[in-house]
Every structure is written in C-alpha cells, then in structure tokens.
Structure 1
Amino acid sequence: MQWTEMVIAIVSGFALTIMAMPIVIGFFRTKQLGQTTRDEGPKWHEIKTGTPTMGGIVFLVAAIISTIWVAIWQDVLTLGIGLSLFILILYGLLGFLDDFIKVFKKRNLGLTSKQKLIGQIFGGLLFFVAYRYDGLPTELVFPFLGIVDIGWFYGLFIIFWLVGFSNAVNLTDGLDGLVAGTASIAYGAYAIIAWNQEQIDILIICLTIVGGLIGFFFFNKKPAKIFMGDVGSLALGGGLAAISILLHQEWSLLLIGFIFVVETASVMIQVTSFKLRGKRVFKMSPIHHHFEMSGWSEWRVVLTFWAIGLIAAVASLFMIL
C-alpha cells in the first residue's frame, strides 16, 4: 500500500465526518436533544448540559464506509476487517442504545451495566468463534515464559480484553477532545505496526478511524459542539482490543493505551479504597477529574494526557519495531 493510498484512506474518513457532523449537530439542536450532566460529576461541567451527544455515530459510519470501499479497492476484504468491523458495529450499537435511552427517553442512565456487559461478552464469544474457525493462533507472549499456546483460555482472554478496553475508553471520555486525541494516537500507533507487518487490512481500518477522529475533533474540541457518547467510546475501545489481537500484539495495548489503563485503575483504586478504608485516594475519579479539581484547566489536562499517551505509544513502537 503506497503513501498516496494511505492518505486517501485517512482523507476519506475525515471528509465524510466533516461533511456529516454539522447535519447531525443541527438535528439535535433543532429537536433540543442534548446530554444531561450527571449529578456526581464536577459542578462546572453543568454548563455542558444540553450539548448534543452521540457524535460517535458519524465518525464510526464514516470509518466503516471508508474501510469497506478502500479494502475493496485494495482487494483486501479479509476476515480481519470483518472481525474488526463486527466489534466496532456491535459495541457501537450497545453504546447507541445506551445513548438513545438517555437522550430520547430522557433517562440519565441508559442501559444497565449488566445489559451492556452481556452484550460485550456475547460479542467477544462470537469474535473468538470466528477467530478459531479461521485457524488463527491462540498463543500469548508471557514475560520470562516466552510464547505459550493457551488454547481455549484464549477465548476468555479475548472477552476480558474486549470488555476491559471498551469500558476503559468509555471511562476516559469525560473531557472535550480527550478521547478524540488519545484514541487517534493509539490507532495511529497500530497503523504503524500493521504497516510494518504488512497487514494492509488492519492498516486501512486504523487509518480510516484516525481520519474520522481528526474530523470529529474539530467539533469536539473545547468548547465541544458535540460529544461522542457511548456509541463512540465503547466502539473505539473494543476496536483497539480487537486490532491488538489481530496483530498478535495484545500486551502492547497496555502501553499504547496507557491513558485508558490509568483512567480505569484510578476508578478501581478509588472504589476499593472507599469500601475498605472509607477514604478516597483521589479528589474524584476517573483521574482526569482529580486534576481538574486540583486546579488544572480542562485544556491542560487534555494536552498533558495526549502527551503522555504519545510518549507511551512511541515507547511501545520502539520496543516492537
């Protein structure tokens, strides 16, 4: 795949997003549909109440359409693309239902955690069945042990990875432009790995998503005109996990997705500490809110997290390549 063709993949995702986003924003504003800020969130976020959400639909559809036509053009419409798009669509659909209930049914909480978890696990099971049907390896690289074939336990790993990272990105999506930037960095890193491994199918997916996210950022930067919603964050996290599996670079996601890992860890630490000790470790979790409550501006938090994510991704690429 030549540089011009890679640029076309990015531009396709970007252009479709840029063209469609104003229409979606206009629709939500006309119908006076917007996000309701949760009571337990920072008080200064109340100004965001009424901002249109579900913007993830636009860049997801843009990336899916772009991926399919570029893959057909490059003659690489493979199982890898099918599995990746399946996770993006299914997890995006779960997020869409969650957002739809919140926005259109005027309920602050959408799907229950149990309902989302069942859907995520179901997606992981189908992913593994198709993965094994194609005869793909069930090996994992363990420190000091080397490559170990864990057989059917790999299915449990896949479910854990998909569910864990889809929720991790969802937790991170709390500030204007935060996930748009960190996810662009992560997908960009995997695009480089896919290019190095000559897995053109996965490269195309990564590039079209990066293009879509760049287009989305123009509307999501502070002050955000629209939020991505669960439809975007759940899909992005599941997609990252799926791509790390298909590239057989599973553990790399712990570093490439370092910000998502830290955000999730902060919530786990906060909950565990409060239950066991009755004390909070952070002023608020996820940790991006802790820095906000410590006096950091929203832009400072976002730019700092982008920088950390970029450093972690570059470090991962050095180790892999």
Structure 2
Amino acid sequence: MHQLDPALAAWLEEYNRELADLVAKGYKATAIGAREALANLTRQMVTPGPDIAWVNDELVPGRDYTVPVRIYHPDPKRPLPVLVFFHGGGHMVGSVSVYDPICRRLAAASRHVVVSAEYRRSPESPYPAGLQDAATVAKGVWQALDARQLPYVRQLSLAGDSAGGALTSSLSGLGQYDASLQIKRQVLIYPSVDYTLSQPSVDENGEGYLLTKARVAWYFDNYFQHAENRLQASPLHWAFTRKLPDTLLVSAGFDPLRDEDFLYVDKLRAAAVEVEHLHLDGMVHAFLNLEAIVPDACRMVYQRIGEFLNR
C-alpha cells in the first residue's frame, strides 16, 4: 500500500478544508477563478528561480494564430539544443508567466534553450486550437531563434506537464508521420494522455488529492465543445511505432492520471521505444507547482530531466 508524502498530507488537509468552505459560501468554477487559483498557488509555492543569461519574448507566426513564446537561453554566446515547453492546466489555466520559475529551472538543469509557448486555451479557444499552436511553435521555433540571432543546435526536444504533456505526446504521435516534426526526445510530466477518463486511478485518486475527477471532467468538457471523439483525440490510443522519440515520463502515485501514464509507458516499451519511467509513489498531480512542500522530489525531477536530455 503506497503512502502519501506526510508533508503533502498535512497541506492537503488544510487545502481541502478551505476549498469546502469556499464551496459552502457559493464558489462556482469558472475560467477566471481556476486561472487565478493556479497562478496564486504557484506564486506561493515556487520561488522565482535561477537567473538565466538571456530571457525575452518572441512571436511565432502560424496559419491562423501568431503564438507568443518566451525564450530562455542559458548561454547566449554558445549554441545549445532546444527544448520547447508546454505548460499544464487542463487546456484552460496556466500560462508562460505562471510557469516562468519552472522554465527557468528547466533551462538551468538541462542547459537547453527553453522556449515556452503561450498556446490558446479553452473555453475561449477549444480543441484543436491549442494543439495547432503547439505544432506552430514546434515547427517554427528555428525562425523565432533566428529572429533573435540566438545560437542553437538544431536538435528539438519537447516537454510538458499535465495538459502540456497531452500536447507534447500528441505532437510526438503526429511526428511519426510528419517529416517537418523531427523530435529527438520528449519529457512527459504526469501527462494527460487519455481524454476518456476510463482508467481505475481516475476514481481511486479522484477526490482529495488536489486534482479531482470532477475538475478534470470540467476541463475536458470546456476543451471539447463540438462532440469530438475523445478516444480518437487521446495519444494513448494512437499507433505506437519506433519513430516515437525517446521518452522520460514522470508519474505520481496519488494522481488521477497515474494509470494512463503507466499504460503509455507500456505501449512505448512494446513498440521498442527507449523510455525512462520515474514514478514518485507519494506525490500528487502538479507537485512541481508545490515545490515549497516537496523540494527534494522537485529537485530530483529537474536533475533527472537534465540527465535525460543530455545523455
């Protein structure tokens, strides 16, 4: 029987009590409140992060939308490989600004040029807008770096947490058949890879562990607004071939998404794809946004990501 990290257990007890009080006072879930909640939580729990030598914003033009990005170059006099990052948040919340401290840590740990994408979010921009923006950035990142006259190695890896992991794994799946998407490695941090919510851990961990089954269902209902086939949209249920990139997947024991993450790893291995699976049994979903509570776990994850990307 796995055990929740004691520090997380104590924090969750207070968090769930405060949430129940809000609901009793008439709280209603909206995009406004959800976005503010993640931004405030991350601001409280994650310090600003290391200084990175060059940090600036740029635009990546797309067919239907020009995507803002933030570029983090740890050594702007030296060409480094590139890591495009997609933030989490159920396709509704999160932003480049909210994830700034996490991207700084990724850039420092990986010694990669990190490009963080401000893709469109639901409910204003439902599926597939965010995925289209992710593809725009993955394909147009070189032009963005050239526009800033930054040195880089033309080697692309992708990373994302939660819904950002859904975008990452979706691009990797599409890249099996798209020569314009040459992805070296992917880093999936407690990724959402199955929009059907049909795995046992969705119910097992669906209440009391920060991310709830009801909240995930609400996110997905806002994302899929036109009766799309959610099974067909789920990268877990796509074909897996050896053309998929080498993968590091980080999962958490008390995450509603845990079982789909394990299944994704199993399918990678069955397709003879190189995969590393870092499972933290006592963690909850989004623990990188709770760094003040579990600093050792977060430090280990960044270290493993750096080692994986540079092996």
Q: Structure 2 length normalisation: TM-score?
A: 0.32
Bigger RCO of structures 1 and 2 (CA < 8 A, at least 6 apart): 1
Normalized per residue, the structure richer in helix is: 1
Normalized per residue, the structure richer in strand is: 2
Q: Structure 1 length normalisation: TM-score?
A: 0.31
